[in-house]
Structure 1
Amino acid sequence: MKIVRFGIGFLLAGALGHTASFAQPLPAVKQVSFKRDTINIKAYGAVADGVTLNTVAINKAIEACSKKGGGVVVVPNGFWLTGPVVLKSNVNLHLKTNAILQFTQDFNQYPLVKSNWEGLDQMRNQSPLSADGQQNIAVTGTGIIDGGGDAWRMVKRDKLTETQWKRLVASGGIVGEDGKNWYPTEKNLKGSKMKNPGEIKEGKTAEFYESIKDYLRPNLLVFIGCKKVLLEGVTFQNSPAWNLHPLLCEDLTVRNVYVKNPWYAQNGDGIDLESCKNVIIENSTFDVGDDGICIKSGRDEAGRKRGVPTENVIVRNCVVYHAHGGFVIGSEMSGGARNIYVSDCSFIGTDIGLRFKTTRGRGGVVEKIYCNNINMKDIPGEAILFDMYYAAQDPVPLAGEKRDAPKVQLLPVTEATPVFRDFHISNVVCDGASKAIFIRGLPEMNISDIYLSDVTVKAEKGIDIQEAKNIQLNNIQLKAAKTSPLIYISNGNKVNFTRIGYEKADVLMEVSGANSGNITVNGTDVNKAAKKLLAGAEVSEKAVQMP
């Protein structure tokens, strides 16, 4: 068994299968350890009748366990209604089989607290399950944690059937003036009309935050600044906003969890790792309403000021069903991301497979990203996407929705200019996508150093590369329905294609942009195409070299 060395420890790579082919060393993650002492929440008065609010009993059990040096707090078989639960150091909150920890839909049980949302310091309702600055903590077992999210979320009409929409409206709440959105309360509707209403700013009063309280939806689980954390075996479902949100955590293991949200769940992400270090996510399943497995590190100036990247992360043997993206980085990545290893994952029906997104204003550097052995099926959008023009929209337009391409203009490079570079993606198979590969950088900051190899995609469209340099594609097999062109390049420099396989093409490659150059095609039967190259008038005659 091969031992891979890393600056923070060792990891036995032989157990990773194909992951051992990564050229870079993999991180080690310190694991939790608990005393065998156990406390049953019933000993503190908890009642499993689905009516009694067990907030005090559960938190007393956790507090007592932690003060005694730690151990296991057991949630036994039963239906346990509760308000917010706060985890303490050296405590393993363990849910037995058929235990449901149901967080109440009574908003009054969730006080407003200073927290963080989408990379900014904001007021939010207290998260159902939280920990702050704790060490050696865990949530384990085989039970279910339900965040009661349906009571909090607005819902878009276009995401429901007519029957579902009528049933939702009949349940109460408010339909917006345009008839396209349903809001659970007046406070939720009021907050939805504001930009970043929860952002903590001078002049905002407690009365103001209270007036939009219902809009300030909590994430289901928020662990902040915690070390040695384990999430294992549990089903986390129905979150008001994001499902799992570790922030500034170190040595985190997520194993064998099932993360579940309705597909229409607004901001219903699976897991968002934000400014975390030394992480393993493995053998887990995600089926959610927004991004599945997502890497973040703060937003814009606030994220750059924090300056803490998400780094040293392993994601392996995971399945993502519905999600906006299977594995995602961004868009709030202003503190950077690096040393991320993704392997042996399947994305089934995710809007986009591998999704890397940012926009001007973010800043931050995303680099040293490695993806290997990725299988995809029925992807409505792009199989592999890099986009520096993220516009905070669903990746796949709804029926009748019209979107214009962003205006391309050259702007000065500043600390707010994001950087995407040094990605290595190999051994990808996708059966069904709208577009195989999409790479779109900025004129002032091209996406660079992207290495794609051994990729097979069946899609409507082939490859689209814009404002990018040093893009290396080796053994890319394309089965595309639309082949005029099969490959499109705009202002791409040092783009190399080796062994591109395809059945047919009206136009193999179309090139535009005065900055396009050093484009080569090797080991490819270009004569199968009706037309090999279509070049714009501004493109140099020597810009493209092919047989």
Structure 2
Amino acid sequence: MNDLLRILSILFLVSSGINAKAEDFNIINYGAVGDSITLNSNAIQKAIDQCFDSGGGKVIVPSGKFITGTIILKDNVTLHLDQGAELIGSLDLKDYKNIDPFTEGLGIDVGWALVVAVDARNIAVEGEGTIDGRGKAIKEKQIQTDTRSEGKRWGDRPFLLRIVRCSGVSVSGVSLKFAGAWTSHYSQSTHIQIRDLKINSVGVAHNDGIGIDGCQHVRIENCDVVSGDDALVFKTTWSKMACKDIQVTGMRLKSNQAGIKMGTESMANFEDISISDCYIYDTKNGGIKLLTVDGAHLRNVEISEITMDNVRTPILFRLGSRLSVFRKGQDIQQPTGTLENVVIRNVKAKASAEAQLKPPSGILITGVPGHDIINLTLEDIEISLAGGGTLEDARHPVAEAIDKYPEVKTFGPTIPAYGVWARHVNGLKLTNIRFTLDSNDLRPAIVCEDGKHVTLDGLELPGTTGNEEIIRFENVDGATVKSVDTKANSLTMLRVEGEGSDNIALKKNTDWKVQHAQTCGKRVPQEAVKFITK
């Protein structure tokens, strides 16, 4: 015990000595001028380098408008922005560096950044100040000489904050504004804390808010994000490092794309991730989207206590086989991955009437042939929708799009169910699901195609009129439907089609205004469906 105490005392003294040596390095003392004119990249970098050489401390950005190109954080350096301090991105792309280039999901070479750290330890960005990338102004200057299409030239514009292969990262308090590309990108890094950020990054394409790319042991809380692209997005652009052990809570998310998204780039796994207590609003391309299309295993993910308002298509799940490689020469193509053991619970959503899908639908779930989405649980979900679907819409075919970019529009323009459309699933559980409609919709509430072990328990459905069926199963083997509460005046409660359909139980425990409890298609024997009245 005495030896242990001696060791602890030594460690404490060493730690105290380090803290005692830590200093503040004001960028003014290194020649920086906050006049919104002078380029300060070299002066700020000198302060960072001196802080690093001295063993660490804080680099202080005082009140003022400091123009800068790329600055590189180093071990044990905290970049502290005082109230009124602004780091403002240079409009000249020659002032930026790309010290770890890679290719993103659309095939564009990217990686330039305003504030960047690569292979650093114990770094922080903090304070009450602002980092402003002036993305729109950079683009306006860029297009004067760059005649390529926007889809190709955007990759030369800088991210606002980029963290690569770092450990011990804290980003707190600051405001991040108007990036030239992605707003903040954390890649292949561990032990990250992100809290109390204010992000307002719109004006050019690809303004993702917070991007977590193959990172582990991450905590994100109490951030307010308004972004031109996905607000909170998880990626794995490299097959060697998973997104793992991530907890997110207390977020406000507004986006021109998705509120919460996983897997646009998806080579390594997404696992042990929990997201809770978030408000998602005014999104134009999805509320929650969980995707794996490049070989990743997406598993053990729980999303709960989510409120959505005015979102286009509240929820999308996609397991696909695009199988892209993003770091050419450093990685190899992966086989098709898995999407399994995901739980979404306690979600209340108001879907936008103006959506990518016409008419709007609530939840899309699809694997690909031979690769099912496994053990997906949705419980205590309430979604209000515009309605307006026709009988023709109810039979609209949906492309498999096996190797395509994973988006809602990939499966549009029309989905044959207004509530839940599911295809290639095994172990799907829908419990306590409620839909409301602003107008009549002649599509089924639920359509499941190529399903196994499907459970519907506790559905509250609106009183539609004229539907051919309320629920439709096509090639579903093993299913239970019970506790369906609806005043819909329709031909059939459950229609079963496809020669692969079998072992289906329908239990009645409320009054239905339907002519037939169940109807079997031509290739389905009557004994495939058991009707239970007690």
Residues 244-255 of structure 1 mapped to structure 2, 5 A cutoff: 244-255=184-195
Cα deviation 1:424-454 (Å, max 9, x = unaligned): 1111111234322211111111111111111
Give 1:436's aligned residue. 362
Displacement of 1:541: 6.1
Residues 350/450 of structure 1: CA separation in 2 closer, same or farther (3 Å cut):
same
Aligned partners of 1:123 and 1:114: how far apart in 2?
11
> Does residue 498 of structure 1 match 2:430?
no
> Does residue 475 of structure 1 match 2:415?
no
> Does residue 312 of structure 1 match 2:245?
yes
Residues 221-240 of structure 1 mapped to structure 2, 5 A cutoff: 221-240=161-180
Aligned partners of 1:291 and 1:508: how far apart in 2?
36
Displacement of 1:111: 4.0
Aligned partners of 2:444 and 2:87: how far apart in 1?
54
Give 1:337's aligned residue. 270
| Equivalent AA in structure 2 for residue 355 of structure 1 | K
| Equivalent AA in structure 2 for residue 441 of structure 1 | G
Give 1:133's aligned residue. 119
| Equivalent AA in structure 2 for residue 292 of structure 1 | A
| Equivalent AA in structure 1 for residue 276 of structure 2 | S
Q: Which runs of 5+ in 2 are unaligned?
A: 1-17, 324-332, 353-359, 387-417, 509-534
Residues 94-113 of structure 1 mapped to structure 2, 5 A cutoff: 94-113=80-99
Give 1:410's aligned residue. none
Give 2:310's aligned residue. 378
| Alpha-carbon contact 1:92-1:140 (below 8 Å) kept | yes
Cα deviation 1:185-239 (Å, max 9, x = unaligned): 443516846xxxxxxxxxxxxxxxxxx7x75233221111111101101111111
Residues 239-388 of structure 1 mapped to structure 2, 5 A cutoff: 239-262=179-202, 265-298=204-237, 303-304=238-239, 307-351=240-284, 352-359=286-293, 362-380=294-312, 382-388=313-319
SS at match of 1:524: strand
Aligned partners of 1:224 and 1:541: how far apart in 2?
51
SS at match of 1:416: coil
Pick from 43, 46, 59 the counterpart of residue 29 of structure 2: 43
Pick from 437, 445, 452 the counterpart of residue 371 of structure 2: 445
Displacement of 1:115: 1.5
| Alpha-carbon contact 1:224-1:247 (below 8 Å) kept | yes
SS at match of 1:318: strand
Range with bigger deviation, 366-375 or 348-357: 348-357
Pick from 354, 379, 383 the counterpart of residue 457 of structure 1: 383
Aligned partners of 1:465 and 1:546: how far apart in 2?
21
Task: Kindly indicate whether structure 1 or structure 2 has the higher relative contact order, using CA contacts under 8 Å at least 6 residues apart.
Answer: 1
Aligned partners of 1:383 and 1:122: how far apart in 2?
28
Aligned partners of 1:60 and 1:49: how far apart in 2?
19
Residues 270/248 of structure 1: CA separation in 2 closer, same or farther (3 Å cut):
same
Pick from 466, 469, 484 the counterpart of residue 423 of structure 2: 466
> Does residue 150 of structure 1 match 2:136?
yes
| Equivalent AA in structure 1 for residue 207 of structure 2 | G
Displacement of 1:354: 1.1
Aligned partners of 1:438 and 1:190: how far apart in 2?
32
Give 1:91's aligned residue. 77
Aligned partners of 2:19 and 2:311: how far apart in 1?
42
Give 1:535's aligned residue. 496
Sequence identity of aligned pairs in percent?
A: 27
Give 1:484's aligned residue. 443
Residues 258/391 of structure 1: CA separation in 2 closer, same or farther (3 Å cut):
farther
Q: Which runs of 5+ in 1 are unaligned?
A: 1-32, 154-171, 174-182, 194-211, 393-413
Aligned partners of 2:457 and 2:497: how far apart in 1?
23
Displacement of 1:81: 0.7
SS at match of 2:427: strand
Displacement of 1:536: 2.8
| Equivalent AA in structure 2 for residue 335 of structure 1 | A
Cα deviation 1:156-177 (Å, max 9, x = unaligned): xxxxxxxxxxxxxxxx67xxxx
Residues 133/465 of structure 1: CA separation in 2 closer, same or farther (3 Å cut):
same
Aligned partners of 1:335 and 1:373: how far apart in 2?
27
Aligned partners of 2:26 and 2:162: how far apart in 1?
24
SS at match of 1:105: coil
Residues 191/42 of structure 1: CA separation in 2 closer, same or farther (3 Å cut):
same
Range with bigger deviation, 534-543 or 471-480: 534-543
| Alpha-carbon contact 1:511-1:539 (below 8 Å) kept | no
Residues 271/349 of structure 1: CA separation in 2 closer, same or farther (3 Å cut):
same
Aligned partners of 1:478 and 1:66: how far apart in 2?
57
Displacement of 1:455: 0.9
Aligned partners of 1:121 and 1:288: how far apart in 2?
22
Range with bigger deviation, 105-114 or 426-435: 105-114
Residues 114/537 of structure 1: CA separation in 2 closer, same or farther (3 Å cut):
closer
| Equivalent AA in structure 1 for residue 423 of structure 2 | Q
Give the count of matched residue pairs. Answer: 437
| Alpha-carbon contact 1:113-1:123 (below 8 Å) kept | no
Give 1:52's aligned residue. 38
Displacement of 1:494: 1.2
Give 1:206's aligned residue. none
Residues 185/192 of structure 1: CA separation in 2 closer, same or farther (3 Å cut):
farther
| Aligned CA-pair RMSD | 2.6
Aligned partners of 1:384 and 1:121: how far apart in 2?
26
| Equivalent AA in structure 1 for residue 193 of structure 2 | T
Residues 125/367 of structure 1: CA separation in 2 closer, same or farther (3 Å cut):
closer
TM-score norm. by structure 2 comes to 0.77
Aligned partners of 2:83 and 2:505: how far apart in 1?
62
Aligned partners of 1:267 and 1:533: how far apart in 2?
43
| Equivalent AA in structure 2 for residue 517 of structure 1 | D
Aligned partners of 1:50 and 1:369: how far apart in 2?
45
| Alpha-carbon contact 2:235-2:243 (below 8 Å) kept | yes
Larger Rg belongs to: 2
Aligned partners of 1:391 and 1:529: how far apart in 2?
42
| Alpha-carbon contact 1:439-1:466 (below 8 Å) kept | yes
Aligned partners of 1:230 and 1:519: how far apart in 2?
48
| Equivalent AA in structure 1 for residue 215 of structure 2 | C
SS at match of 2:347: strand
SS at match of 1:108: helix
